[in-house]
């Protein structure tokens, strides 16, 4: 597995890369740290009763998001979010601002990569006052690496995503 699409696959990749590169001991240490981060995340999300709906944009012109066949989806889902385009047949569906508005997301994430979203892009979306994420000030510029870089990056990524999904959750 060199292109994991889940947290579980990402965790296994740490061990696999350690074996391939002859760094088993170091990989084992990272694996254990990642396991602890996963366990802590699972504990923190176990009591959550309402999962916020999320649109995670990866591109602009056209807007594109993600379906369930991505690591980003699994990370959002594992951290307690509900990906509104999870069941779309396209892995990276093209959507319009009207689609975003009709989806009524609780949260919109604008990552730093692959498209480098900036404040001006958030301002465009924030003009659509009928979107719950806009009304509730939940359109976020986010570190794309912490959402999409798997392997050991999940260690800081898990609490980071939880903080975005649940602002009042003390995930450190």
| pTM score, whole prediction | 0.92
Mean pLDDT, rounded, for 71-76 = 97
Torsion of Cα atoms, 53 then 59 then 65 then 66, to 10°: -120
Angle made by CA atoms 59, 74, 171, in degrees to the nearest 5: 100
Q: For residue 42, what are the domain limits? A: 1-172
Give the count of domains, the chain. Answer: 1
Angle between helices 7-21 and 24-45 (to 10 degrees): 170
Give the CATH number, domain containing residue 13: 3.40.50.1980
In angstroms, the CA 124 to CA 33 distance is 39
Tokens of 129: 């006052």
For 88-146, write each residue's pLDDT tens digit.
999 999 999 999 999 999 999 999 999 999 999 999 999 999 999 999 999 999 999 99
Q: What does the chain come to in residues?
A: 172
Each residue's pLDDT tens digit, 5-24: 999 999 999 989 988 999 99
Taking the C-alpha atoms of residue 126 and residue 76, their distance in angstroms, rounded to an integer, is 22
């Amino acid at each position: 597995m060199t292109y994991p699409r889940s947290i579980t696959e990402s965790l296994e990749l740490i061990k696999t890369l350690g074996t391939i590169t002859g760094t088993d001991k170091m990989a084992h240490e990272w694996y254990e740290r990642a396991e602890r981060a996963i366990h802590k995340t699972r504990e923190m999300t176990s009591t959550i009763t309402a999962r916020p709906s999320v649109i995670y944009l990866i591109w602009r012109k056209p807007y594109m998001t993600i379906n369930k066949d991505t690591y980003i989806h699994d990370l959002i889902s594992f951290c307690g979010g509900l990906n509104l385009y999870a069941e779309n047949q396209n892995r990276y569906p093209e959507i319009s601002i009207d689609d975003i508005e009709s989806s009524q997301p609780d949260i919109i994430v604008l990552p730093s990569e692959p498209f480098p979203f900036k404040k001006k892009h958030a301002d465009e979306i924030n003009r659509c006052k009928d979107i719950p994420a806009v009304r509730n000030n939940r359109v976020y510029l986010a570190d794309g690496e912490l959402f999409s870089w798997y392997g050991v990056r999940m260690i800081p990524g898990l609490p980071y995503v939880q903080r975005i999904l649940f602002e009042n959750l003390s995930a450190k």
